[in-house]
Amino acid sequence: MRRPRPQPPPAGPPVELLIEAVGGEGDGVAAGPVYVPFALPGERVRAAGAGERRALVEVLEASPERIAPPCPHFFACGGCALQHWAHAPYLAWKLERLRATLARQRIETELLAPFAAQPATRRRLALHARKGTAAAARLGYKARRSWDLVEIEVCPIANPRLQAAIPALKRLAAPLFEHPKSAPTLHVTLTDSGLDVEISGVERRSGGLSADARVLLAERAAAADVARVTLDGEVAYLARSPQVRLGPAVVSLPPGGFLQATAGAEAAMAGFVAEAAAGAGRIADLYCGVGTFTFRLAQIAPVHAADVAADAIRALTSALAGAPGLKDIAAEARDLVRRPVLAAELKRVDVAVLDPPRAGAAEQTAELARSAVGRVVGVSCNPATFARDARTLVEAGFRLTRVLPVDQFLWSPHIELVGVFER
Cα 307 from Cα 144, distance rounded (Å): 34
Angle between the N-to-C axes of helices 87-103 and 383-395, in degrees from 0 to 180, rounded to the nearest 10? 40
- Strand partners of residue 407: 116
| CA nearest neighbour of 156 among 79, 221, 238, 265 | 79
381 noted as active-site residue: yes
Q: How many residues does the chain have?
A: 423
Cα 132 from Cα 174, distance rounded (Å): 7
DSSP states of 228-286 as a string?
A: EEEETTEEEEESS--EEEETTEEEEPPTT----SBHHHHHHHHHHHHHHTTT-SSEEEE
| CA nearest neighbour of 328 among 297, 351, 355, 307 | 297
Q: What are phi and psi of 305, to 5 degrees?
A: -110, 140
- CB under 8 A, 24+ apart: contacts of 211-216: 213/175, 213/176, 213/178, 214/175, 216/174, 216/175
| CA nearest neighbour of 404 among 390, 392, 420 | 420
The DSSP element (H or E) to which 48 belongs, if any, is strand 44-48
Cα 129 from Cα 186, distance rounded (Å): 7
Query: Are 209 and 221 a contacting pair, CB within 8 Å?
Result: no
Angle at CA of residue 361, ends 356 and 364, nearest 5°: 115
- In whole angstroms, how far apart are CA 292 and each of 59, 67, 317? 44, 36, 13
Angle at CA of residue 193, ends 133 and 215, nearest 5°: 35
401: Cβ–Cβ under 8 A, 6 or more apart, which residues?
109, 110, 420, 421, 422
Query: Are 409 and 117 a contacting pair, CB within 8 Å?
Result: yes
Catalytic residues: 381
